[in-house]
Amino acid sequence: MFKLVEIKVLEKDDKNIRLIIQGVDVPFMNALRRAIISEVPVMAIDDVVIIDNSSILQDEIIAHRLGLIPLKTDLDGYNLPEECPCKSEFGCNLCRVTLTLDVEAREGTRTVYSGDLASENPNIVPVSDKIPIIKLAKGQRLKFETYARLGRGKNHAKWQPVSMCAYKYFPKIEISSEKCDACGKCVEICPRRVLVKKEKSIEIHDLMACTICKDCVDACPQKPPAISIGWEENTFIFGLESTGALPPERIITEAIKILDKQLMELENRVKGEKSEGD
């Protein structure tokens, strides 16, 4: 039978989103999480041409640091290199953005920040100006040109759109008013402050914070325990933190589009196989 999926937004800002997703199962949540982490493309610096480096760090270490700076991504304005009509290893202005840097420590020691990178596209810039790249001593200079491209997390972690993406079961807590004598032991032991003690009863203060650790059940002196902890089978609390490359809701919608496309491809292949075998 067709089941409706219900989604409730618990919180959302420009980097984080937390949802309750109802009517799905663990394989779906895993597929969504994996699509987000490894398939949703974002921009990252991929090639670095060092023109001058008199700092104490080797070119390779600087290049590695540059790759890990999250860049604001314009998914609609650029092609993935493998899908770009240019078919060029070097890229074109539809699949590559150039960022340059030229800093010399003239007055004294100077920290070079992500904000010192100059981009040819004002929409493709580091998500923060305050990411340190290197410290230059007086007289040292760093000059380079870099090329950022869209890529996927499955090829390198620098292309992951999220710094966190996780889900957990929706907890279910039941307290038997007949057996519970409000001793408060479960309240004291709970590491997440989920429960509160009222005069003659225990109440649930923050259900969403429960990690289903069951410490409260073990602490209950009643035999059998007056408190029981479980979870809803098809309801999950899902959260992600964007690196800032894309808004969190765009990351989710892109992942769903990718899953949809993959399923269509699977269906077409199965149909193709079937007709070949007929």
Q: Does 95 bind Zn ion (CB under 5 A)?
A: yes
Pick one of Zn ion, ligand SF4, none as the site partner of residue 84 (Cβ within 5 to 8 A by kind): Zn ion
Q: Does 124 bind ligand SF4 (CB under 6 A)?
A: no
Q: Does 31 bind Zn ion (CB under 5 A)?
A: no
Q: Does 75 bind Zn ion (CB under 5 A)?
A: no
Question: Cis omega (within 30 of 0) on the bond before 224?
Answer: yes
Pick one of Zn ion, ligand SF4, none as the site partner of residue 94 (Cβ within 5 to 8 A by kind): Zn ion
Between residues 196 and 259, which has the closer beta carbon with respect to ligand SF4?
196
CA distance 182 to 224: 15
Looking at 24, 226, 237, 240, which residue binds ligand SF4 (CB under 6 A)?
A: 226
Looking at 56, 92, 264, 266, which residue binds Zn ion (CB under 5 A)?
A: 92
Pick one of ligand SF4, Zn ion, none as the site partner of residue 185 (Cβ within 5 to 8 A by kind): ligand SF4
Between residues 102 and 174, which has the closer beta carbon with respect to ligand SF4?
174
Residues 147-186 that bind ligand SF4 (CB under 6 A): 175, 180-186
Shortest CB 170 distance to ligand SF4, Å = 12
Stretch that binds Zn ion, among 62-70, 86-94, 154-162, 250-258 (CB under 5 A): 86-94
CA distance 202 to 184: 7
Pick one of ligand SF4, Zn ion, none as the site partner of residue 234 (Cβ within 5 to 8 A by kind): none
Pick one of ligand SF4, Zn ion, none as the site partner of residue 48 (Cβ within 5 to 8 A by kind): none
How far CA 201 is from CA of 87, 172, 209, 212, 246, in Å, comes to 69, 18, 20, 21, 46
Q: Does 44 bind ligand SF4 (CB under 6 A)?
A: no
Residues 186-225 that bind ligand SF4 (CB under 6 A): 186, 189-190, 192, 194-195, 202, 210-216, 219-220, 222
